[in-house]
Amino acid sequence: MSENCDKLDRFSSILERPFNSIRDLLHSDIFRALPLLRPWRSLHTEVGRFFDDPRLKLAFTFQEKYLGKSPFQCPSLFSILSFLEYEHGVWHPIGGCGAVSQVMARLARSMGARIHVDEPVTELLLHGRQPERVRTMKGTYDCDTLFINADFAHAMERLVPDRVGRRWKDRKIARKKVSCSTYMLYLGLNGTQDELPHHTIYLSKNYEQNLLDIEVNRRLPTDPSFYVQNSCVTDSTLAPSGRSTSYVLVPVPHQTGNIDWSREKAGFRRVVLRQLRKVGIEDVEKRCRVEHVITPPRLGAARLL
> Which amino acid would we find at residue 231?
S
Q: How far apart are CA 245 and CA 229, in angstroms?
A: 8
Give the pLDDT mean for 29-38: 82
Tell me, what's the pLDDT at 243?
A: 95
Instruction: Fold for 181-303, please state it.
Output: Guanine Nucleotide Dissociation Inhibitor; domain 2 (3.30.519)
Phi and psi, residue 122, nearest 5°: -105, -20
User: Which pLDDT does position 300 carry in this prediction?
Assistant: 61
Asked if the model's pLDDT at residue 304 lies above 60, the reply is no
Q: Is 165 left (phi over 0), alpha (psi -120 to 50) or beta?
A: left
- Region of 292 (left: φ > 0; alpha: ψ -120 to 50; beta: rest) is beta
Quick one: DSSP state of residue 116?
Answer: -
Measured distance CA(245)–CA(96) in Å, rounded: 11
Give the Cβ contact number of residue 147 at 10 Å.
5
Tell me which H or E stretch contains 135: strand 130-136
Select the highest-mean-pLDDT range: 24-28, 48-52, 123-127. Answer: 48-52
Q: Provide the pLDDT for residue 178.
A: 78
- Identify the pLDDT of residue 17: 86
Average pLDDT over residues 131-138: 92
Query: Is-contact 232 94, C-beta < 8 A?
Result: no
At 305 the pLDDT is 36
Element (H, E) at 110: helix 97-110
pTM: 0.84
- Tens digits of residue pLDDT in 69-94: 888 888 898 999 999 999 999 899 99
11/77 Cα distance (integer angstroms): 9
Comparing CA positions, the residue from 63, 68, 103 lying closest to residue 83 is 63
Q: What is the helix (H) or strand (E) element at residue 297, kind and residue range?
A: helix 296-303
- Cα–chain center distance at 127: 33
pLDDT band at 198 (very low <50, low <70, confident <90, very high): very high
DSSP track, 33-96 = HHHHH-TTSBHHHHHTTT--SHHHHHHTTGGGGGGT--TTTSBGGGHHHHHHHHHH-----TT-
Based on the number of CB atoms within 10 Å of its own CB, is 225 exposed (0-12), middle (13-18) or buried (19 or more)?
Answer: buried
Residues 140-163: tens digit of each pLDDT: 999 999 998 888 888 888 888 887
In order of 43, 131, 180, 213, the CA distances from 177 in angstroms are: 19, 28, 10, 16
Cβ contact 251:223 at 8 Å: no
Model pLDDT, residue 36: 82
The residue ranges of every structural domain in the chain are: 2-88, 120-175, 181-303
Which residues are within 8 A (CB) of 233 and not within 5 positions of it... i.e. 6 or more apart? 192, 193, 194, 196, 197, 198
Tell which residue, 159, 256, 167, 187, has the closest CA to residue 216: 256
Going by pLDDT thresholds of 50, 70 and 90, the confidence category of residue 132 is very high
